[in-house]
Structure 1
Amino acid sequence: MATMKGILGRLSSLSLPELGRATAVPVPPVGPEYTIDQLARQANTTVRNVRAYQDRGIIPPPERRGRAGVYNADHLSRLRIVGQLLARGYTLSSIGELIEALDQGQNLAQVIGIESAVASPWSDEQPVTFTLQDLVKLFDGNFDPRLLASVVDLEILQQQGGKFLAPSPKMIHAASELVRIGIPLADMLNVVGLLRANVERAAEAMVQLIDRHLLDKYGNGLPPPEESAEIGDLIWRLRPLVEMAVHAEVSRAMQRAASQHLGDRLSHVLEQFERSRQPAAQPGDDDA
């Protein structure tokens, strides 16, 4: 993700003096809570890794409520940062040392506050797991297992052993409704692929705006402590504005496309109607 790359670039470029600065903590809105299984799924890791990171002190322990452990958005943000650094080739040992240094300087809260504002889930949907039998039943027997590869490639479903995790169950239910009214799933997947490419380009451009206008002015470093809380809060306030802009543009495009196609169809019907009103040619008319 563009912004996370920028943030992690700033994180990896910090010098030791910068690590020691105290900082204000951006306070995001109260976010979702997770079990350890839900946390692992959201962070694209495993329960085993989450426990291993806890044992190493890379992520803090969960809040205990009776016998259950409850995780929050800060745990998810830290796991995402760890995943990004691992993907860049850093070892778990060096990540642990860096996070320990950041914790001591209280700068990790600054990084996590901004990362939470940028990368926290933009939907309150909870993932749902389906078996193949569940999918066939949901689609009234019209789910073609041969399409599973395309569905997984589009990340509409994520295969987990013999089961499939749907990050957005609404997408699966919408697909089943479209199939029920007669639209083939394969055709819908083609449209989703087209939509995905365009939306990702727009999302990338939008994220680059945030990075360029809110973070680039700090160079390769992080915002100063006195400004970090304000930036985190500003990004939280921008999120619903971005969602409204996307919704408005989708609505405008759908209205325009629907009106155009309806107009084309009505125009065709009108032409047929006009032809039906013309008197039939009589024998000898051409000789007149």
Structure 2
Amino acid sequence: MAEYRIDELAHKAGTTVRNIRAYQDRGLLPPPRLEGRVGYYDDNHLARLRLIGQLLARGYTFAIIKELLVAWEHGKDVSEVLGLEKVLTDPWSDELPGQVTVEELVKTFGAGLDDEQVARFLDRAVALGLIEPEGDHYRVPSPRLLHVGAELVAAGIPLDAVLDIAEQIRADCDVIAGRFVNLVNEHVFDRMPAAAPGAEEIPQLAAIVRRMRPLVKMVVDPFIARAMEARAQEALGARLELIRDHLQQAGR
């Protein structure tokens, strides 16, 4: 097994001597083998340094990294832990984000609005997560949502009313998501041992979360379809009857 002095190890791992010493102080990296006053590190240290770098790049705190490394030392597969994290943090939609300029937004949504009203519209759209400032343009996380809003405005619905309903639907969807998460928490996660899940349980947790993705859409789509059918028939049916009665009276 190769051995390295601290500066050689830092170069191999793509880090700094200062970072290596900081990791040792935090208990993330075992001490080197000492010969006199010189410390020698081996490939195990190098592998651990590379893993620490990967975890830091993914946003893990030092405390969480230490827990993962302890699990690794006890024979648990850190890649399985990372696999669960990936399932939890991956986007739940395959929709590709887009981008739009202020001019394009104003042309689509802001016809007839003054500068103050346009600024208020942009602020509300950002607060709702419909657009995100990005340099001289806006990033659009969901072009589909923006398209729906544009169609509603084109149909004659006031922009403020469209933003109001977007805010309400977002809150409704948050409630639905919370119900699904609580369901899995109560009947799956909460029934597991109080201690951290074992290596054999982590892939099962990832699989459960992965299976939730299509299930949420499969449940929501038919419910919203049936609700729309009932509401549309109830609301528009009454209006159609009024129109029919009016036509009958006009034809007499």
**TM-score higher than 0.5:** yes
Deviations 1:48-83 (A, max 9, x none): xxxxxx99934269xxxxxxxxxxxxx8xx44xx3x
Counterpart residue identity of residue 84, structure 2: I
- Out of 243, 246, 251, the residue aligned to residue 272 of structure 1 is 246
Please give the alpha-carbon distance, in whole angstroms, between the structure 2 residues aligned to 1:276 and 1:138.
40
| Structure 1 residue 239 corresponds to structure 2 residue 208 | no
Give the match for residue 94 of structure 1: 63
Mapped pair 1:57 → 2:52: yes
Secondary structure of the 1:164 match is strand
What is the CA-CA distance between 1:205 and the residue it aligns to? 0.7
CA apart distance, 1:269: 1.8
User: Partners of 1:119 and 1:256 in 2: how far apart?
Assistant: 36
Unpaired runs of at least 5, structure 1: 1-53, 62-74, 83-91, 279-288
Find the partner of 1:212 among 171, 186, 190. Answer: 186
Work out which of the residue numbers 126, 132, 145 in structure 1 matches 2:102.
132
Return the TM-score normalized by structure 1: 0.59
Q: Which moved more, 1:228-237 or 1:239-248?
A: 228-237
TM-score by length of structure 2 reads 0.66
Corresponding position of 1:115: 85
Matching residue within 149, 160, 174 for 1:200:
174
In structure 1, C-alpha distance between the alignment counterparts of 2:193 and 2:130, rounded to whole Å: 37
Computing the radius of gyration from Cα coordinates, the structure with the larger value is: 2
* Aligned-residue identity in percent: 30
Q: Deviations along 1:237-285, whole A, 9 cap, x unmatched?
A: 232122111111121222222111211101222333454467xxxxxxx
Letter in 2 for 1:59: Q
**Which of structures 1 and 2 has the larger relative contact order (alpha carbons within 8 angstroms, sep 6+)?**
1
**Is the partner of 1:170 in helix, strand or coil?**
helix
Deviation at 1:109, TM superposition (A): 2.8
| Letter of the 2:63 counterpart | S
Distance 1:146 1:55, change over 3 A: farther
Mapped to 2, the partners of 1:151 and 1:99 lie a distance apart of: 39
Deviation at 1:127, TM superposition (A): 1.9
Q: Is the 8 A contact 1:58 1:96 kept in 2?
A: no
* Residue ranges of structure 2 left out of the alignment (5+ in a row): 1-48
The aligned counterpart of 1:18 is none
Q: Secondary structure at the match of 1:226?
A: coil
Letter in 2 for 1:94: A
CA-based RMSD: 3.0
Q: Answer yes or no: is 1:254 the counterpart of 2:247.
A: no
Measured in 1, the distance between the counterparts of 2:204 and 2:65 equals: 28
Whichever residue aligns with residue 82 of structure 2, its letter is: I
> 1:176 is matched with which residue: 126, 139, 150?
150
Question: 1:159 touches 1:165 (CA, 8 Å); kept in 2?
Answer: yes
- Equivalent in 161, 165, 177 of residue 187 of structure 1: 161
